[in-house]
Amino acid sequence: MRSFPETIIEIYDEEQIYNVLAVCEFKPKNVVYIGTRKLKNKRIKNNIISCLRSLGLTTKCFFYSTDMLSINSVISELENILSIFGECAIDLTGGNEVALVAVGMLAKERGIPLFRYDRYAQMYRNIYECEAAADVVSEPKFNINAVLALAGGAMKSHGHVSVDGLDKDTSDDIFRTWTIYKKYHRVWSRTVSYLQQISKDLEGEQLHIDASAVIYGGDRISGADKAVMNELCESGLIRNYKNDGKRISFDYKNPLIRSCLCDIGVCLELYVYAAAISAGVYDDVQISVVIDWDGDLNARINTINEIDVMLTRGAVPVFISCKSGSVNTTTLNEIKTLTTQFGGVLARPVLVTMANVRTADKHLLQRAVDMGIDIIDRNDLLHERLSKRLYALSKL
């Protein structure tokens, strides 16, 4: 079998993922992009280069522009490229019909190898004289930084939940908290509201609580459910727990557990994050991803958004919005907009919610279906279907 040429020619495609797939698979010395005047745009060039560098690839990138609606112009530019780079293979995965016709004509005349990615079979096909690409199974591994870079963005930081990786102890704590949450989900919000109030003055690493067992706020009375608190203590999530009916005292195990027990939304996000990591099937999983829209992290003024959880499986990025309470069309619009902006054609928008959407809000469910948004709701979560659903929707 012939070895793969050192240079791949890519017909630039508006769907950026198709501009880098072959480079990720065959890791050529050079990749040459041919397209319209868009390829003179420095930002478009930088997006592709930043993506490849995020994946650890050192392939040199070259960009040529011409009239892509003229067969003669495309052929002329391709001949120029071939005179500079010598032996090349051309990827037919992207590009318009005129460009593909021009490539076909030139390939037949000059014996240029042609190949194409079959996304449904997840393998490459030998289109013409390119045996090195024949039936090559492709399992690209994209990280979140590469996905965002390809769309011109960048991961600025972790947001309101700052977790960078999970050790076993932390993961176990998150699952213990979730188990108690599920068991007492009907009274959980009252307990969390109480814990939030008595913990609001804690700063940094402070973990000790000593407060009244009942708090009066206007006409509302808040207190911790004794059964919930006892289970939190038995699970080691809080320590030195005392409750004489008048005062309550304890220590949170650590700042992360403090955040988890004082915010229902954080608890749900951490559970989704830990479940995705423990599944062991994703190439990258990040929580509370702060996205900088233009990728310039040093700019004085930036447009940013936060995604609760992101994961990648192969070339498929999944954008997840976690909502512990009621959801509406605004929630759907937010996750759809960010997925479209930064994920491309293969991306999946997902809403994970403790609301009972499938049986209680048929209109919102239909809206989500129409927008291509997958919903994982309360019944899925309570019956441990989260991991199965995430795995299924992350397939090509």
pLDDT digits (tens, 9 = 90+) for 12-23: 999 999 999 999
The reported pLDDT for the residue numbered 1 is 47
Which of 241, 261, 281 is the endpoint of a domain?
Answer: 261
The reported pLDDT for the residue numbered 204 is 84
3-state secondary structure of 292: strand
248 and 321 fall within a common domain: no
**Sheet containing 208-212: order of strands:** 208-212, 247-252, 238-243
Which of 239, 261, 283 is the endpoint of a domain?
Answer: 261
79 and 122 fall within a common domain: yes
- The answer, yes or no, to whether residue 267 has pLDDT greater than 50, is yes
pLDDT digits (tens, 9 = 90+) for 310-330: 999 999 999 999 998 889 999
Residue 149 domain-assigned? no
**Angle, helices 264-279/168-183, rounded to nearest 10 degrees:** 130
Range name among 27-31, 228-232, 299-303 with the lowest pLDDT average? 299-303
Total structural domains within the chain: 3
The reported pLDDT for the residue numbered 218 is 61
Residue 148 domain-assigned? no
The reported pLDDT for the residue numbered 119 is 84
**Angle, helices 97-110/71-85, rounded to nearest 10 degrees:** 50
Residues 6+ apart with CB under 8 A from 206: none
Residue 1 domain-assigned? no
Residues 6+ apart with CB under 8 A from 302: 156, 292, 293, 294, 296
Residue 150 domain-assigned? no
243 and 289 fall within a common domain: no
The reported pLDDT for the residue numbered 2 is 60
Going by C-alpha positions, the residue among 136, 96, 139, 132 that lies closest to residue 114 is 132
Residue 302 domain-assigned? yes
303 and 358 fall within a common domain: yes
Question: And the tokens for 210?
Answer: 């000593």
253 and 109 fall within a common domain: no
376 and 279 fall within a common domain: yes
191 and 288 fall within a common domain: no
28 and 117 fall within a common domain: yes
Q: How many CB atoms sit inside 10 A of residue 210's CB?
A: 11
Q: Which domain holds residue 66?
A: 7-140
Rounded-to-integer distance, Cα 143 and Cα 166, Å: 17
Q: Are 116 and 92 in contact (CB under 8 A)?
A: yes
Give the CATH number for residue 358: 3.40.1350.10
194 and 330 fall within a common domain: no
Residue 151 domain-assigned? no
Q: How many CB atoms sit inside 10 A of residue 354's CB?
A: 24
Give the CATH number for residue 109: 3.40.50.10770
pLDDT digits (tens, 9 = 90+) for 78-131: 999 999 998 999 999 988 889 999 999 999 899 999 999 998 888 999 999 999
Question: And the tokens for 211?
Answer: 């407060």
Residues 6+ apart with CB under 8 A from 243: 213, 224, 226, 229, 249
pLDDT digits (tens, 9 = 90+) for 141-173: 999 999 999 999 999 888 878 777 788 999 999
Q: What is the mean pLDDT of the chain?
A: 92
pLDDT digits (tens, 9 = 90+) for 58-77: 999 999 999 999 999 999 99
pLDDT digits (tens, 9 = 90+) for 205-217: 899 999 999 887 6
304 and 161 fall within a common domain: yes
213 and 135 fall within a common domain: no
pLDDT digits (tens, 9 = 90+) for 351-391: 999 999 988 899 999 999 999 999 999 999 999 999 999 99
296 and 230 fall within a common domain: no
- The answer, yes or no, to whether residue 50 has pLDDT greater than 70, is yes
Q: Quick one: pLDDT band at residue 298, thresholds 50, 70, 90?
A: confident
The reported pLDDT for the residue numbered 217 is 65
Residue 287 domain-assigned? yes
Residue 146 domain-assigned? no
The reported pLDDT for the residue numbered 223 is 86
Beta strand pairing call for 247-252 and 238-243? antiparallel
